[in-house]
Structure 1
Amino acid sequence: MLITDDKLRQVDLLKLVRISKKISNEEFKLMIYFFQKTKIVPVNVILLKEYSPFIFFFVNKKDFNPAKQHINRLRRDLPNKVLIIRVERTLKDLIYSFFPDLTISDLKINGYDGDVLNIQLFFKSFKERGIAIGRNGDYIKTVNLLLNDYVSISNCTETINVECKTE
């Protein structure tokens, strides 16, 4: 069986991932707040303020749907943009979980550009692509920052760059 370069690239999407970050006092308070509101203990909380303030609450798969029921209240109570993300084992599944309400028609590794692994997400409409990118590109920049700074990928030292495109 011949393994093409394209198949090797797709294997990169199946690499195991782990989210790790030292929790700050502010993130610890958010973790307690999340538990008080949802009765679910988040696996991790990451607060990013680089582009536009985002709070990512990472929960186990079994807790995702019950936690998602509280998203509107959390968004009303907190001044930052709030997202609840499923903890996934593979890079591909983790990337999909960052865009839970959007339909991604395809996900491709565009190849390596030096030490950068370029991943393209394809959406069917410009509207969905715009939602995925966020105002002034803030959301996709934040996702790229999170993937590069707080997600460790097995046997991968490359920087990850996720791009959003339409078909």
Structure 2
Amino acid sequence: MTACSLFSYIAIVWMKMVPMQTIRSRVQLMKISALSLVFCGSVVNGNVSLRYLPVSFNQEIGATTPFFTAVFAYLMTLKREAWLTYVTLILVVTGVGEPSFHLFGFIVCVAATAARALKSVLQGILLSSEGEKLNSMNLLLYKAPIAVVLLLPATLYME
């Protein structure tokens, strides 16, 4: 995240790849902070789940991210998918199974997967909402330093 912050700053300020955008309101800053927090939750929970679950099972659960994305998109933006999409997602979710099951590992892995999906929805809102629209490079510029600050305690504790 530190490298993302640095490189996005270089790309915006020095290389002028996209125009610099400023944070326009406290609400926009809170949305970016929430996005960073959700991102950090997905990273921490994903790493913790690997302590309890095999990587293969972790990947199986991660394959359910589109299901959570569709649910969060509907709950937050009322965006509906085609009925065939929901049927397909049910098939993906019900295909998950693993003999080396650990309940805590499963819970944190599902939390990480849900957080990844929520991050996608929040990011989509910040990239497209008319009043607070940021381009992806500027969003990364503001999100990454917040994520560094939020991940630092977990990194120091876990690593």
User: Structure 1-normalised TM-score?
Assistant: 0.24
Q: Rg bigger for which structure?
A: 2
Q: TM-score, normalised to structure 2's length?
A: 0.25
Higher strand share: 1
Between 1 and 2, higher relative CO (CA 8 Å, sep ≥ 6) is seen in: 2
Larger helix share, 1 or 2: 2
